[in-house]
Amino acid sequence: MTDLYSGVLEFYARQMPLMEEGRIEEYADTFTEDGVFEHALGWRLEGREQLIEGTRSGLARYAGKALRHWHDRFTVDRRPDGALDVTYLAMVSLVDEQGQVTFEPSCTVRDVLVWSQEGAGGGRWRTRSRFLRHDTSDMSRVWEGRLTGRT
């Protein structure tokens, strides 16, 4: 189980910088072709094409800022079919050009990872589904540090 757990941590250590660096197609390739990214508010991106478009659109609001995702408290459970249920907590930090740091509210993420032989380079983990729920009920204040009262 230790090798599995460390392999899952490495997957996320490689996945999230792809998005943060704007390498959106490579980020989308860490999902299965029919992968789903869903938010508790009801929006849903299905398939790599929607994931690319939605990620590109979402990242636009962070222009001019360094974006980082911080993950903790991973649980990894193997399903009978070999897929993995992975749950973790996440937070996003933003650093603007003046060095001002803001945080978006923490969230709980539930992923299903599957071992995929798709593409070059042999087998690797891919995200089949991701469900994200922020730890606040006032989503109008979530983005860009607005929970602290800044607009």
- Chain-centroid distance of CA 137 in Å reads 20
Alpha-carbon distance 65 to 119, whole Å? Answer: 32
Residues 41-97: tens digit of each pLDDT:
888 999 999 999 999 998 998 999 999 999 999 999 999 999 999 999 999 999 999
Residue type, 51: L
* Closest C-alpha among 55, 3, 45 to residue 25: 55
pTM of the model: 0.86
Residue type, 12: Y
Q: Which two tokens stand for residue 46?
A: 């299905």
DSSP-derived secondary structure letter, 106: P
Residue 151 has pLDDT above 50, yes or no: no
Of residues 22 and 121, more confidence is placed in 22
Terminal-residue alpha carbon distance, the chain: 45
What's the pLDDT tens digit per position in 112-124? Answer: 999 998 766 668 9
* pLDDT beyond 60 at 145: no
What pLDDT is recorded for position 147?
41
CATH assignment of 2-148, given 1.20.140.10, 3.30.360.10, 3.90.1150.10, 3.10.450.50?
Answer: 3.10.450.50
Q: Where are the domains of the chain?
A: 2-148
Nearest-angstrom CA–CA distance, 125 and 115: 5
Whole-number average pLDDT of the chain: 89
Burial 10-32 (b: 16+ CB within 10 A, else e): ebbeebbebbbeeebeebbbbbb
